[in-house]
Amino acid sequence: MSRLCFSRKRRQNTSVKDRRCSRNYQSYRKIKPKLKTAPQFIIKDDKDFMSEKRRLIDYIKKTQELGEDYFHNKESDSFGRLSKTEWNNMFYKHLDHHLGQFGV
């Protein structure tokens, strides 16, 4: 499986071989496009935190079970055909973005 840089502490204390991952993360965090949220993604009702947490964990587990080869050259609605590395980066950046919204 491709490497992910999950830990912020780990990103700060990277070895030479990890610097590329760290640099990619840092450059991603600096670029913040000013796009509006699509109306279908705006949450208008109350959600149960524990239920939503469980749902997220289940999605992550399902993605891991499918494995990286399942996603290789799959079509993204937004970005077209992506390699398994591109999917991996997108999953990480998307999850990091939303967790960052809540200070996680």
Per-residue pLDDT tens for 78-87? 889 999 999 9
Q: Can you tell me the distance from the alpha carbon of 94 to that of 76, in angstroms, rounded to the nearest whole number?
A: 13
pTM higher than the cut 0.85: no
Maximum alpha-carbon separation in the chain: 46
Q: Report, as an integer, the average pLDDT of 16-32.
A: 48
Around 65, how many Cα atoms within 13 Å sit in the side-chain half-sphere? 6
Give the confidence band of 18 by pLDDT, cuts at 50, 70, 90.
Answer: very low
How do residues 65-82 score in pLDDT, each as one tens digit? 999 999 999 998 888 999
Contact 88, 68 (CB under 8 A): yes
